[in-house]
């Protein structure tokens, strides 16, 4: 104890042992490999989509409805206009239903329900709803609105199914963002003598807005790509249709019916439609990122 360590001994004491160096290298290699492994299918999907999809893109592809012809090579098979517009219409209505209700539920959970037993119950059911397979929502709407009313498929029925699918995503993402709004802001607004609804509308919601937009756009993106809830609610059709009370085409259903065709051109149209869908969702995600970057809550 009395003698000082030699500089060499001091260095040795602070040196990383070879065994630890080795373990570190193996661990780093392992997680890097996992990352690369996860990226491979993702890149392959984008690669194949571009490879097979871009070929069928043309002005006509986006501006004409599918003709229904799948057998005669002489005539055109048409494009996917009705599917693109159908998806936009169905998802727009689904968003119009799910977003206000979802944000309302989230506001109630954060501002009023808090940790009451009923709020906990709501949270539990929302979580369960998140895990429900999308085809179950389709089936539910099919039973209630198609079989139950004895009427036919319709665009708005597809919207209902997608709205059910979006609802838990919107609620949960909005709740997380609302919880991020500092309690001090609510307090200082309340201390100014603001009624609670004013605090929520003028302080809490504007502060949480960028984050909520992100969550909402992700929910929209998820709904836009769903096939199962639409198969037996909105069905597939050829014509572009602006009446949500009738059959309505959509991109996922168009892809679903095209890939099973024996005709190469029709299968290629499925690839083109798939690429279109992915690009649309990518754009939504980009917007979500841009908006969340402006968030004041991060």
Encoded tokens for 77: 């098979």
Torsion of CA 248, 166, 135, 221, to 10 degrees: 70
Q: Which residues contact 287 (CB under 8 A, 6 or more apart)?
A: 217
Q: Which is nearer to another protein, 15 or 187 (CB)?
A: 187
Nearest to 79 by CA among 214, 283, 251, 221: 251
Q: Output 85 or 203, the one with its CB closest to another protein.
A: 203
Among 120, 152, 188, 243, binds another protein (CB under 8 A): 188
- Options 46, 179, 192, 279; binder of another protein; rule CB under 8 A: 192
Locus of tokens 């996860």 = 38
Q: What are phi and psi of 147, to 5 degrees?
A: -70, -45
8 Å CB contact between 65 and 79: yes
At closest approach, how far in Å is the CB of 203 from another protein?
6
Which residue reads 């389709």 in tokens?
Answer: 138
Residue 182 binding another protein, by CB under 8 A = yes
Q: Answer yes or no: are the C-beta atoms of 161 and 140 closer than 8 Å.
A: yes
> Among the candidate windows 12-20, 40-48, 206-214, 235-243, which touches another protein by CB under 8 A?
206-214
CB of 214 to another protein, least distance (A): 16
Which range, of 55-63, 65-73, 203-211, 241-249, touches another protein by CB under 8 A?
A: 203-211
Contact between 187 and another protein (CB under 8 A)? yes
SS3 content of the chain, % helix, strand, coil (to 5): 75, 0, 25
Stretch that binds another protein, among 147-155, 177-185, 220-228, 280-288 (CB under 8 A): 177-185
Integer Cα distance of 281 and 7 in angstroms: 61
Tokens at 34, concatenated = 């996992």
Q: Count of residues binding another protein (CB under 8 A)?
A: 22
- Tokens read off for 166: 């979006």
Residue 179 contacts another protein per CB under 8 A: no
Nearer to another protein, 23 or 294 (CB): 294
Binding mask 99-138 for another protein (x = CB under 8 A): ---------------xx-----------------------
Q: Please state, in angstroms and rounded to a whole number, the distance separating the CA atoms of residues 84 and 87.
A: 5
Counting contacts by CB under 8 A, is residue 190 touching another protein? yes
Judged by beta carbon, residue 129 or residue 194, the one nearer another protein is 194
* Residue number, 107 or 277, with CB nearest to another protein: 107
Which residues of this chain interact with another protein, rule CB under 8 A? 114-115, 182, 184-185, 187-195, 198-199, 202-203, 206-207, 209, 296
């Amino acid at each position: 104890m009395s003698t000082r360590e030699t500089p060499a001994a001091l260095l040795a004491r602070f040196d990383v042992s070879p065994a630890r160096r080795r373990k570190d290298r193996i661990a780093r290699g392992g997680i890097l490999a996992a990352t690369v492994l996860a990226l491979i299918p993702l890149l392959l999907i984008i690669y194949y989509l571009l490879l097979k999809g871009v070929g069928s893109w043309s002005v006509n592809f986006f501006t004409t409805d599918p003709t229904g012809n799948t057998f005669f090579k002489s005539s055109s098979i048409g494009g996917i206009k009705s599917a693109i517009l159908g998806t936009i219409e169905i998802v727009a209505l689904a968003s119009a239903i799910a977003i206000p209700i979802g944000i309302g539920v989230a506001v109630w959970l954060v501002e009023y329900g808090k940790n009451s037993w009923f709020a906990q119950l709501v949270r539990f059911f929302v979580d369960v709803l998140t895990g429900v397979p999308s085809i179950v929502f389709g089936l539910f709407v099919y039973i209630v609105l198609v079989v139950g009313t004895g009427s036919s498929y319709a665009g708005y029925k597809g919207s209902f199914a997608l709205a059910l699918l979006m609802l838990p995503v919107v609620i949960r993402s909005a709740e997380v963002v609302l919880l991020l709004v500092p309690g001090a802001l609510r307090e200082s607004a309340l201390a100014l003598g603001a009624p609670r609804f004013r605090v929520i509308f003028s302080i809490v919601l504007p502060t949480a807005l960028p984050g909520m937009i992100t969550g909402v756009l992700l929910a929209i993106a998820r709904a836009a790509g769903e096939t199962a809830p639409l198969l037996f609610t909105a069905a597939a059709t050829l014509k572009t249709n602006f009446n949500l009370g009738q059959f309505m085409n959509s991109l996922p259903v168009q892809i679903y019916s095209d890939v099973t065709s024996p005709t190469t051109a029709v299968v290629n149209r499925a690839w083109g439609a798939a690429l279109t869908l992915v690009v649309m969702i990518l754009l939504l995600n980009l917007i979500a990122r841009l908006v969340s970057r402006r968030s004041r809550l991060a």
